[in-house]
Chain A
Amino acid sequence: MKLLVCISKTPDTTAKIAFTDGATKFDEAGVQFILNPYDEWYALVRALELKEQHGGTVTVINVGGSANDAVIRKALAIGADDAVRIDTVAASSSVVASNIASYAGENNYDIVFTGKETIDYNGSEVGGMIAEHMGLPYISYASHLDHDGSKATVTRDIEGGVEVVSVTGPFVLSAAKGLAEQRIPNMRGIMMAKRKPLEVVKAKETESAVSVVSYSLPEEKQGVKMIDPDNMDELVRLLKEEAKVL
């Protein structure tokens, strides 16, 4: 099987979120970057498992600048065969998706994997856009995927439960928790990753209709009010009368 996994780079989950340039830019100073967990833990690993089962190749693709090469190498260390970086600023999900779709369109993949969402912009936008550009089915929020070589059976998360679907032919899938188990790269993988091909491709010109004008931080909490453990009636009263949430 020929598999493509879209990987993105996000700030570490414990990163301090701050902005510079008059609150127009994310402050990267001192921030550790990681592979987006949904891409690394679930999408990539499930793709590798399918390759182990059916043979074939796993290519990872990223849209971004050379600063992303470190996380791309991590994906190679986990087991991807080769990598492609489309060299441009990932200004919006539409820029990312149209570039990935053009590349994927020329290479006949059986499955294009994305993560459920990036944990920084929380868009959940890219996967569906790629699918639409390529005219392929989009199977979102997959927590289980079986493939017999020609037909896939996927369990996907829906509100309050799951749905099982089958899909024939190539498709785009977004990976949710449960699809696979995280793999930690070993020394050998890390050494091999250095020699695996990372192709840098020129991006196509794309306009983006969406831009971020500024960022702000949410209102701080007022401070916690401690309640006497022996007076839960008081807590219920406060929830009703003060917080007004009941």
Chain B
Amino acid sequence: MGVLVVAESPKGQLKKAAFEAVHYAYLSAKNLGGEVIALVIGESSDAGQLGTYGANKVVRVDYNGGFDSGVMCSIITQVAEHVGAHSVILNHSSTGKSVASRVAVRLDAGLVSQVNSVPTKDGDAILVSKPVFSGKAIAHCKIEGPKRVLTLMGNALPPAEVGSTCPVELVSVDVPTSNVEVIEQKTVEGVVPLPEAELVVSAGRGMKDPGNWSIIEELANTIGATTACSRPVADTGWRPHHEHVGQTGVAIRPNLYIAAGISGAIQHLAGVNSSKCIVVINKDPEAPFFKAADYGVCADLFDVVPKLTEAFRKAQGA
């Protein structure tokens, strides 16, 4: 019996999300017992490195078809039974979320999604917490029964190296037929997707015009940040929808969130308030966002943003 963790490797590449999940599984197994088995679905030349983050073993399944939650669920549950998993852990990502609820039903396991703490034992049950009400509160949950499925919130617990590379075993499973066909994928290359980003630079209606965004992009590029925006900015087509953060957009938790020309409406804050550090640039001293900020700059953003970019460049050069 042990913890099975699904290590996402999009295009054969293990990313930080996978290291986070594996390390979380390692910490969970310490409390719940058993080994840590990491599952890699598809190609991966370096799956053994998951041992560094706490996996005792990697199971790899060769599957190169497109994403179908039903197929993924079938693969994961077959492996879970093969290794005798008492817990299955996935990332709270588009992929992880789409699959976890199916896996929970098929394994007859309790599901808590978006967990942000390491589970502890409470008799035969386990306790684990998750943010609710868009980060405005934390729910402390109890899961009864012998099996459970958890999805781990991004950037909640940093991965740490605890061991060395581990063996990789190729396991074959039955792949069911699928009614879903992936026609194409369009992803932005070279940019960290918002939910995974550690640094985010965001801007709102205070930008006045979509043509003014170059100063935001320049700031973001200088520190390697991902860009985001407030809802009205996405709704009016100034910026793409996937940049919209907040209660009805993407919820993020970066280490640093820089917001320029955003007033800080409650629905905006709901998606960003668990960021570790918030910097607000706004010319209105009464802007509600200042109350939720760690650092504030009260001035015209068209003046301050380029100066901040310059200051970052100077610090990098030093």
| Closest A residue by C-beta to B110 | A209
Taking a contact as CB atoms under 8 Å apart, the answer to whether B295 and A238 are in contact is: yes
Instruction: Select one of A160, A213, A240 contacting B142, CB under 8 A.
Output: A213
| Inter-chain contacts of B280 with A (CB < 8 A) | 224
Taking a contact as CB atoms under 8 Å apart, the answer to whether B277 and A239 are in contact is: yes
Interface of A is mostly: mixed
Closest Cβ of chain A to B118, distance in Å, is 16
Q: A163-B182, A171-B179 are in contact. Are A125 and B142 (CB under 8 A)?
A: no
Taking a contact as CB atoms under 8 Å apart, the answer to whether A165 and B180 are in contact is: yes
Binary contact readout B105-142 vs A (1 if CB under 8 angstroms, 0 otherwise): 11001111110000000000001001111111111111
CA distance A160 to B304 in the complex (A): 29
| Inter-chain contacts of A166 with B (CB < 8 A) | 180-181, 183
Taking a contact as CB atoms under 8 Å apart, the answer to whether A246 and B256 are in contact is: yes
Residue B241 is within 8 A (CB to CB) of chain A in the complex: yes
Residue B159 is within 8 A (CB to CB) of chain A in the complex: no
Residue A221 is within 8 A (CB to CB) of chain B in the complex: yes
Residue B66 is within 8 A (CB to CB) of chain A in the complex: yes
Q: Could you tell me which residues of chain A, from 199 to 246, have a CB within 8 Å of some CB in chain B?
A: 208-218, 221-222, 224-227, 229-230, 232-233, 235-240, 243, 245-246
| Inter-chain contacts of A137 with B (CB < 8 A) | 68-70, 178-180
| Inter-chain contacts of B131 with A (CB < 8 A) | 122, 218
Taking a contact as CB atoms under 8 Å apart, the answer to whether B304 and A229 are in contact is: yes
Number of A-B contacts (CB under 8 A): 271
Closest Cβ of chain A to B128, distance in Å, is 10
Instruction: Select one of A159, A212, A229, A237 contacting B94, CB under 8 A.
Output: A159
| Inter-chain contacts of B69 with A (CB < 8 A) | 128, 131, 137-138, 140
Taking a contact as CB atoms under 8 Å apart, the answer to whether A126 and B279 are in contact is: no
Segment with Cβ contacts to B, from A13-21, A56-64, A77-85, A102-110: A13-21
Residue B166 is within 8 A (CB to CB) of chain A in the complex: no
Taking a contact as CB atoms under 8 Å apart, the answer to whether B10 and A159 are in contact is: yes
Q: A159-B93, A159-B195 are in contact. Are A128 and B100 (CB under 8 A)?
A: yes
The 5 closest A-B pairs by CB, nearest first: A128-B101, A209-B110, A161-B187, A160-B193, A229-B299
Taking a contact as CB atoms under 8 Å apart, the answer to whether B191 and A213 are in contact is: no
Taking a contact as CB atoms under 8 Å apart, the answer to whether A233 and B314 are in contact is: yes
| Inter-chain contacts of B307 with A (CB < 8 A) | 229-230, 232
Residue A185 is within 8 A (CB to CB) of chain B in the complex: no
| Inter-chain contacts of B192 with A (CB < 8 A) | 160
Residue B291 is within 8 A (CB to CB) of chain A in the complex: yes
Further pairs besides A140-B69, A161-B186, A224-B290: 4, Cβ < 8 Å: A143-B241, A171-B179, A171-B180, A213-B127
Q: A177-B244, A177-B248, A246-B223 are in contact. Are A210 and B296 (CB under 8 A)?
A: no
CA distance A133 to B102 in the complex (A): 8
Taking a contact as CB atoms under 8 Å apart, the answer to whether B266 and A17 are in contact is: no
Instruction: Select one of B70, B113, B141 contacting A124, CB under 8 A.
Output: B113
CA distance A217 to B273 in the complex (A): 12
Residue A94 is within 8 A (CB to CB) of chain B in the complex: yes
Taking a contact as CB atoms under 8 Å apart, the answer to whether A158 and B111 are in contact is: no
Taking a contact as CB atoms under 8 Å apart, the answer to whether A209 and B102 are in contact is: no
Residue A11 is within 8 A (CB to CB) of chain B in the complex: yes
Residue B249 is within 8 A (CB to CB) of chain A in the complex: yes
Residue B73 is within 8 A (CB to CB) of chain A in the complex: yes
Q: A165-B180, A210-B110, A229-B299 are in contact. Are A218 and B138 (CB under 8 A)?
A: yes
Instruction: Select one of B110, B181, B248, B297 contacting A226, CB under 8 A.
Output: B297
| Closest B residue by C-beta to A19 | B137
Binary contact readout A126-163 vs B (1 if CB under 8 angstroms, 0 otherwise): 11110111000111110100000000010011111111
Residue B56 is within 8 A (CB to CB) of chain A in the complex: no
CA distance A127 to B290 in the complex (A): 37
| 27 pairs of residues in contact across A and B, judged by CB atoms under 8 Å | A37-B248, A93-B101, A94-B104, A119-B134, A121-B132, A122-B251, A125-B100, A128-B101, A137-B180, A158-B185, A158-B187, A165-B66, A210-B142, A211-B142, A212-B142, A213-B127, A221-B292, A229-B298, A232-B310, A233-B311, A233-B315, A235-B308, A236-B314, A243-B277, A243-B294, A245-B199, A245-B277
